Structure 1
Amino acid sequence: MDDPDTTPLDVRRTQELKLFLFIVVLLFPILAFAVVGGYGFAVWMFQIFTGPPGPPA
């Protein structure tokens, strides 16, 4: 049956803590890596077609 020491509020607090840790430890670093890597890749591809930045020739 239900544990008398565990209230719905405690269960929700535990779930929210786990979700917060998942977001902070896994999701945000992965998203940051993907965004920075994607931007770098886009700049690299752009420079392949247009040449490196610099003064006009």
Structure 2
Amino acid sequence: MDQNISPPDQAPTRNSRLSELLVFLTIIVFIWPVVAVGIVGGYGFSVWIFQMIFGPPGPPSVQ
């Protein structure tokens, strides 16, 4: 039997709950803001490149 598996009736220790809370806070405070800035920046960059190739949006020019 694997020794790393605890019986289901044993409650998680305080140390493991604290470490889980620290991991959650690290994800919320540091990782998600970086992901959000990357997504918004990537979208802005793709719109900029698209407009460099196809021109800005708007009605067609009258000739």
TM-score, normalised via structure 1 length: 0.81
Specify which of 26, 44, 48 is matched with residue 44 of structure 1. 48
In the alignment, structure 2 segments of 5+ residues that lack a partner are 1-11
Q: Report the CA distance between 1:47 and its aligned residue.
A: 0.3
In the alignment, structure 1 segments of 5+ residues that lack a partner are 1-7
Specify which of 28, 35, 38 is matched with residue 34 of structure 1. 38
Between structure 1 and structure 2, the one with the greater Rg is 2
TM-score, normalised via structure 2 length: 0.74
Over the residues paired in the alignment, what is the CA RMSD in angstroms? 1.0
User: Greater helix share, 1 or 2?
Assistant: 1
Runs of 4+ off more than 3 Å = none
